[in-house]
Amino acid sequence: MRVLFCAAECAPFVKTGGLGDVVAALPRSLLAQGVGVRVLMPKYRDAFAEIGATETVARFDALMGGPATVQAVRADGLELLLLDAPHLFDRPGNPYVQADGSDWPDNHLRFGALAHVAAAVATGTLDGDWRADAVHAHDWHAGLVPLYLSMQGAGAPPSMMTIHNIMYQGLFPGEVRAELGLPEQGFTPDGYEFHGQVGFLKAGLMYANKVSTVSPTYAEEIKTAAFGLGLEGVINHRGGDVVGILNGIDQEVWGPATDPLINSHYKAPNVKARAANRRQLNTRFGLTPGDGPLMCVVSRLTEQKGLDLLLNALPDFIKAGGKLALLGSGDRVMQQGFEDAALAYPSDVGTVIGYDEALAHQLQAGSDAIIVPSRFEPCGLTQMYGLRYGCLPIVAHTGGLADTVTDCDTDPNHGTGFVFTPVTQAALSDALMRAIACFADAPRWRGVMRRAMKQDLSWDASAATYIDIYGAIRADTGVAA
Question: How does strand 210-213 pair with strand 242-244?
Answer: parallel
- The answer to whether residues 215 and 336 belong to one domain is no
As a whole number, mean pLDDT of residues 287-301 equals: 96
Sign of CA dihedral 266, 270, 275, 278: positive
- The answer to whether residues 387 and 239 belong to one domain is no
As a whole number, mean pLDDT of residues 147-164 equals: 95
Question: How many Cα neighbours within 13 Å face the side chain of 205?
Answer: 36
Q: How many domains does the chain have?
A: 2
262 is a domain residue:
no
Amino acid letter at 11? A
- The answer to whether residues 159 and 208 belong to one domain is yes
- The answer to whether residues 344 and 221 belong to one domain is no
- The answer to whether residues 324 and 415 belong to one domain is yes
| Ordered DSSP codes for 275-301 | HHHHHHHHHHHTPPP-SS-EEEEEEEE
Which stretch, 123-127, 133-137, 298-302, has highest mean pLDDT?
Answer: 133-137
269 is a domain residue:
no
444 is a domain residue:
yes
What pLDDT is recorded for position 52?
A: 85
- The answer to whether residues 235 and 328 belong to one domain is no
Asked if 122 and 155 count as a contact pair (C-beta separation under 8 A), the reply is no
Asked if 203 and 192 count as a contact pair (C-beta separation under 8 A), the reply is yes
Check: pTM over 0.85? Answer yes or no: yes
Cis ω before 157 (30° cut-off from 0): no
As a whole number, mean pLDDT of residues 250-274 equals: 93
- The answer to whether residues 161 and 294 belong to one domain is no
As a whole number, mean pLDDT of residues 134-141 equals: 98
What's 7's domain CATH number?
3.40.50.2000
Asked if 70 and 82 count as a contact pair (C-beta separation under 8 A), the reply is yes
264 is a domain residue:
no
260 is a domain residue:
no
In this predicted structure, the answer to whether residue 68 has a pLDDT above a threshold of 50 is yes
Dist CA 190 CA 423 (whole Å):
35
- The answer to whether residues 214 and 352 belong to one domain is no
Any alpha helices (H) in 320-459, and if so which ranges?
332-344, 357-366, 382-389, 399-404, 425-440, 442-453
- The answer to whether residues 101 and 220 belong to one domain is yes
265 is a domain residue:
no
Q: What is the mean pLDDT of the chain?
A: 95
199 is a domain residue:
yes
Dist CA 162 CA 468 (whole Å):
15
- The answer to whether residues 313 and 216 belong to one domain is no
Task: Give percent above pLDDT 70 in the chain.
Answer: 99
Domain span holding position 104: 2-248+459-477
pLDDT tens readout for residues 365-393: 999 999 999 999 999 999 999 999 999 99
As a whole number, mean pLDDT of residues 121-126 equals: 90
What pLDDT is recorded for position 127?
A: 75
11 is a domain residue:
yes
Q: Write the DSSP symbol of residue 158.
A: P
What pLDDT is recorded for position 477?
A: 77
What pLDDT is recorded for position 481?
A: 45
pLDDT band at 478 (very low <50, low <70, confident <90, very high): low
Range list of β-strands (E), 43-129 = 55-60, 68-75, 78-84
What pLDDT is recorded for position 189?
A: 96
- The answer to whether residues 101 and 121 belong to one domain is yes
